[in-house]
Amino acid sequence: MIRSIAAVLVFVVASAVAAPAQDRRVPTTNEVRLSYSPIVKHVAPAVVNVYAAKTVQTRNPLFDDPIFRRFFGGGPGGLNQVQRSLGSGVIVDPTGLIVTNVHVIEGADEIKVSLADKREFEATVVLKDPRTDLAVMRIKDGAAFPFLEFANSDTLEVGDLVLAIGNPFGVGQTVTHGIVSALARTQVGVSDYQFFIQTDAAINPGNSGGALVDINGRLVGINTAIFSRSGGSQGVGFAIPANMVRVVVASAKGGGGAVRRPWLGATLQTVTPEIADGLNLKRPAGALISNVMRDGPAAKAGLKAGDLIVSIDGQDVDDSNAFDYRFATKPLGGSAKLGVMRAGREMAATIALETAPDAPRDEITIQSRSPFSGARVANLSPALADELQLQNIDTGVVIVGTDDGSVAGNLGFQRGDVIQEVNGTRVDKTRDLDRLSRTPSNGWRIVILRRGQKISAMFGG
Out of 2.30.42.10, 1.10.287.130, 3.30.428.10, 1.10.150.110, the CATH code matching 266-352 is: 2.30.42.10
The pLDDT of residue 153 is: 93
Strand partners for 114: 49, 120
State yes or no: pLDDT of 202 exceeds 90: no
Q: Is the pLDDT of residue 453 over 70?
A: yes
Instruction: Provide CATH 2.30.42.10 ranges for the chain.
Output: 266-352, 364-460
CB 201 within 8 A of CB 180: no
| Whole-number pLDDT of residue 121 | 92
Distance CA 212, CA 241 (A): 9
Among 59-73, 110-124, 383-397, 415-429, name the one with the lowest average pLDDT. Answer: 59-73
The average pLDDT across 431-455 equals 89
The pLDDT value recorded for residue 458 is: 87
Mean pLDDT for the stretch of residues 140-162: 90
**pLDDT grade, residue 80 (50/70/90)?**
low
Which of the four pLDDT bands, split at 50, 70 and 90, describes residue 344?
A: confident
143 pLDDT band, cuts 50/70/90, is confident
Known catalytic residues are: 103, 133, 208
User: Binding site for substrate: residue ranges?
Assistant: 103, 133, 206-208
Phi-psi region for residue 315, left (φ > 0), alpha (ψ -120 to 50) or beta?
beta
Specify the domain boundaries for CATH 2.40.10.120 within the chain: 45-260
Q: Is the pLDDT of residue 304 over 60?
A: yes
Count of helices and strands (H, E) across the chain: 11, 25
Nearest to 266 by CA among 303, 239, 231: 303
- For residue 397, CA distances in Å to 295, 334, 408, 417, 458 come to 21, 32, 15, 9, 19
* pTM of the complete model: 0.77
Q: How confident is the model at residue 140 (pLDDT cuts 50, 70, 90)?
A: confident
Report, as an integer, the average pLDDT of 118-135: 91
- Residues 193-203, mean pLDDT to the nearest whole number: 87
Mean pLDDT value of segment 162-175: 88
Mean predicted confidence (pLDDT) in 379-394? 84
The fraction of the chain above a pLDDT of 70, given in percent, is: 85
Tens digits of residue pLDDT in 246-288 = 999 999 998 877 888 999 999 898 899 999 888 888 889 999 9
- Out of 2.40.10.480, 2.40.10.120, 3.40.640.10, 1.10.3720.10, which CATH number does the structure's domain 45-260 have? 2.40.10.120
Backbone phi and psi for residue 352, each to the nearest 5 degrees, phi listed first: -75, 140
Task: Name the CATH superfamily housing domain 364-460.
Answer: PDZ domain (2.30.42.10)
